[in-house]
Structure 1
Amino acid sequence: MKKMLSTVIGGALVCAASAATAQNTTPDSPILFTNVDVFDGVNEALMEDVNVVVTGNKISAISSEELVVAGGRVIDGTDHTLMPGIIDSHTHLMFSGVTFPEILFQRQSYTTIQSTLMARDTLMNGVTTVRDMAGDVFGLKRAIDDGSIPGPRVYPSGAMISQTSGHGDFRLPAQDNPMFGGARPVSDQKGHGAQVDGVPQILAATREQLRLGASQVKLAIGGSVSGINDPLDTTQFLLEEIQAAVAAAENWGTYVTVHGYTTRAVNQAIDGGVKSIEHGQLLDRPTLERMAAEGVWLSIQPFTICSEAGLTEAQNAKQAIVCQGTGQVYEWIKELPDLKVVHGTDIFISPGPGIGVSEEVEQMERLLDWFTPYEILKMSTGNATELLQLSGPRNPYPGVLGRVEEDALADLLLVEGNPLEDIKKVTNRDNIKIIMKDGKIYKNTLP
């Protein structure tokens, strides 16, 4: 998990967004975007000078012919590009806007309040969907979905399931294991983690997250940067434990994804049937080739800052190792066109309250050392479509996300200029003129 470095989103932008939420008079009133170029999330060539109609929460028409909407609203998109909302495939809404000690030692109510600010700022960065990879985010998701607060669509994992001495074990040396008379870990009490050992416990933890509404289940199967009890090189859980979690998830029609960096840990997880690898910066090429051949997803982040204030000396030593592996893995990704890759940020903690999540889009600029703007945006939109649909009947938002096509869900950004030529057309928030999620406009700064 990575410490977030970010800046405050301007109050004027937030005010503009608040006003924009009332712009759709009724959920079914159509909106017509005229004279726009379209990046559909998949193809490198823009659809030029087309008209797009949004009816309700879906895209109902895309045509180069003139379109008319009765009783609707017309938005002139001349010199602008209409594109899918950004999808952050790995983030932590409940762990943002607070420090790590606050997550572990302060009341949950404060963390929850900060997470609502993070959700709002995430949406106002143009991020309309997130896969939340650990944290008790279920209540936040419900409040977003019912319209109580603004925020992105949330694909929740719930508690990260970890073994004793694993990535999720943040106990201090004097704290005994619950199996030996110790208290239940604080992260488990708050619903952020589940420290378990053995097949019966891992089955119970997996089923509990599914009961709460997880769209996918996350295990920690290897060492981490932030963990205090798990060296980076370790392989965590036994094969039969991973297989048990996979079987329980498959019985509910969904899948298991895993935190893992190293070749040994990731190959064991793939042997166990997992469908997605989170991170993977220390993988070798044969493992990436195996993933490409077997259709296993790689959800990776550009961890290119090798030392950070706020981390301990031991954590920074692990961070440097991960950082050094990042560039090599990206080079191999370029050489493996069949590998399924999505972009995530792993935003974790912030220096304090009210800090915005600008890194969710600014991180994309780091990828320019390896990828074109088109490749970056495709990893952040259209590539994620199939990954989100792996949740099957547990998918909280059935339909097509990450693409601009007829009958897709209307999560759209209108940006000035062509983002496939200049990624800053998206990473500069002021350049995003309209943010739409589920057919509703949350920001509109067009003249």
Structure 2
Amino acid sequence: MGRFQVVGATVVDGSGRDPADVTIAVEDGRIAQPGASGERLEADGLTMTPGLIDAHAHLGLSSPIEPQFSFRLSAAEIAADIFATAGAALDAGFTTVRDTGGIDGGVVTAIAKGKVRGPRVLSCGPVQCQTGGHGYYGAEWEPTELWSSHHIPGLCALSMQSGNANELRGNVREAFRRGASFLKLCVTGGVVSAHDQLTDTQFTVEEIAVAVQEAAARNTYVTVHAHNNEGIRNAVEAGVRCVEHGTDLDEPTAALMAARGVTLVPTFAVVEQLLRDSAGTGLNESIRDRVLGVRERMAEALAVAKEAGLRIGLGSDLIGPGQDRRGEELRLRAELETPMEALVAATKTNAEILGLSGEVGVIAPGRQADFVLWNGNPLDNPQLFSDRDNAVVVVQAGRIVKDLR
């Protein structure tokens, strides 16, 4: 469809404004001014939102995790799982994702060329980790230098290990060579970790600053995996632009983030996923014990961040094969704030975080025509976001990529 008009939908444009019953025209892949010409897409009774954006995705972790990184799965099976997850994200109404570690640039290219179905993908490539830190899944007996042999060039590469600032500089340059558009570092321990605790800090301020310097040289930024305040403060002092998770964020640290213009991306859906079925992710059942209490603390951190006036994005952090309920993140956030706030976080705010403001995230003339028609009104019933079958029509860059009408 070159030019078409969506008629009869209730439009929630992503800006935070009240819904409106207006006709939306699409021409050459972008939102255009309505006119008399073009086919009509009848959408009576449906609600239109911008295409959703997941600011914390892991397409490269679409297979059972421990089998994947212990060479028990073929490259073909890993690839099949990655591309199935990419298609499922699109079907759930997510037209853009920021992949925060696990895929190689080859996946981004294959999706961008239309060889497989999937959202627009911005990727950091492999996560940058300190030796043995969060993001390392090798066996305890395995020498660290063998970890890179777990990478499958062109497909997946979970993490790179750095023992000092010079190694980190080399690794981030290699990540950019492979096509990364931003960097992610792990600066604290993690929930899904074998070798650390949530209270651990990882990398020094001086080491993190090396990554910030290399990112700035390419006009991009660093985001960090961080659960505790000391790790967050180290990262902010080093000049990072974004913090993922922020589980134990306190008021002084939030104030520091606000003063430096640092964004927070909380991740609730993965906590629900691990509490519900940690074994289903391909991880040891003991991981479940590490998750207990995280949801409540992350909810408190969200309230602290809102009070401090931080810009707050939205990310699911889903891992393993069970990534078919990506929209659950909006439902969970809608329970802690309003459904409209959750939607704006997943559209307008996430577009700003990804550097795509002005292109996607809001339905407005000149923007790319990324939008979803929902079966019902998710502002009245946020549960609709959780089931991808409720995304009746998905349009990406003016192309209808899903249509259940």
TM-score after normalising by structure 2? 0.91
**8 Å contact kept, 1:93–1:119:** yes
Residue identity matched to 1:73: E
Aligned-pair distance for 1:368?
Answer: 3.4
Question: In the alignment, which of 118, 122, 144 is matched to residue 155 of structure 1?
Answer: 122
Distance of 1:156 and 1:49 partners within structure 2: 36
Give the 5 Å matches for 1:49-128. 49-61=21-33, 67-69=35-37, 72-105=38-71, 106-128=73-95
**Partner SS, residue 170 of structure 1:** coil
2:15 matched to which residue of 1?
42
1:340 matched to which residue of 2?
311
Give the 5 Å matches for 1:347-366. 347-350=318-321, 357-366=323-332
**Bigger Cα displacement from structure 2, 203-212 vs 312-321:** 312-321
Identity %: 30
Tell me the alpha carbon deviations over residues 208-231 of structure 1, each in whole angstroms, 9 at most, x when there is no partner.
111111111111111011111122
Give the 5 Å matches for 1:25-424. 29-46=2-19, 48-61=20-33, 67-69=35-37, 72-105=38-71, 106-178=73-145, 183-187=146-150, 191-302=157-268, 303-304=271-272, 307=275, 308-310=277-279, 311-312=283-284, 314-336=286-308, 338-350=309-321, 357-389=323-355, 399-424=358-383
Distance of 1:305 and 1:109 partners within structure 2: 26
**8 Å contact kept, 1:168–1:193:** yes
**Partner SS, residue 358 of structure 1:** coil
**Partner SS, residue 349 of structure 1:** coil
Distance of 1:416 and 1:306 partners within structure 2: 29
Distance of 1:121 and 1:374 partners within structure 2: 24
* Structure 1 residues 362 and 148: CA distance shift in structure 2, 3 A: same
* Structure 1 residues 228 and 59: CA distance shift in structure 2, 3 A: same
Distance of 1:405 and 1:344 partners within structure 2: 24
Tell me the alpha carbon deviations over residues 377-403 of structure 1, each in whole angstroms, 9 at most, x when there is no partner.
1111111121111xxxxxxx7851111
Indicate the RMSD between aligned Cα atoms, in angstroms. Answer: 2.0
1:394 matched to which residue of 2?
none
Distance of 1:247 and 1:238 partners within structure 2: 14
* Structure 1 residues 49 and 150: CA distance shift in structure 2, 3 A: same
* Structure 1 residues 349 and 121: CA distance shift in structure 2, 3 A: same
* Structure 1 residues 364 and 399: CA distance shift in structure 2, 3 A: closer
Larger radius of gyration: 1
1:429 matched to which residue of 2?
388
* Structure 1 residues 139 and 177: CA distance shift in structure 2, 3 A: closer
Aligned-pair distance for 1:314?
Answer: 4.8
* Structure 1 residues 133 and 55: CA distance shift in structure 2, 3 A: same
Tell me the alpha carbon deviations over residues 234-280 of structure 1, each in whole angstroms, 9 at most, x when there is no partner.
11011111111110011011001111100000100000110011111
Give the unaligned 5+ runs of structure 2. none
**Bigger Cα displacement from structure 2, 435-444 vs 291-300:** 291-300
* Structure 1 residues 258 and 58: CA distance shift in structure 2, 3 A: same
Count of aligned pairs = 395
* Structure 1 residues 290 and 187: CA distance shift in structure 2, 3 A: farther
**Partner SS, residue 118 of structure 2:** coil
Distance of 1:143 and 1:111 partners within structure 2: 15
Distance of 2:343 and 2:136 partners within structure 1: 35
**Bigger Cα displacement from structure 2, 369-378 vs 147-156:** 369-378
Aligned-pair distance for 1:76?
Answer: 2.2
2:397 matched to which residue of 1?
438
Aligned-pair distance for 1:298?
Answer: 0.6
Give the unaligned 5+ runs of structure 1. 1-23, 390-396
Tell me the alpha carbon deviations over residues 53-85 of structure 1, each in whole angstroms, 9 at most, x when there is no partner.
1111111126xxxx312xx31112333222101
Tell me the alpha carbon deviations over residues 149-194 of structure 1, each in whole angstroms, 9 at most, x when there is no partner.
110010111011101121022232322343xxxx344445663210
**Partner SS, residue 298 of structure 1:** strand
**8 Å contact kept, 2:331–2:385:** no
**8 Å contact kept, 2:104–2:178:** no
TM-score after normalising by structure 1? 0.83
Distance of 2:23 and 2:134 partners within structure 1: 49
**8 Å contact kept, 1:171–1:185:** no
Distance of 1:60 and 1:195 partners within structure 2: 47
Distance of 1:315 and 1:258 partners within structure 2: 21
**8 Å contact kept, 1:90–1:344:** yes
Residue identity matched to 1:45: D
Distance of 1:212 and 1:398 partners within structure 2: 25
**Bigger Cα displacement from structure 2, 322-331 vs 210-219:** 322-331
Distance of 1:285 and 1:320 partners within structure 2: 23
**8 Å contact kept, 2:8–2:22:** yes
Distance of 2:126 and 2:274 partners within structure 1: 28
* Structure 1 residues 329 and 347: CA distance shift in structure 2, 3 A: same
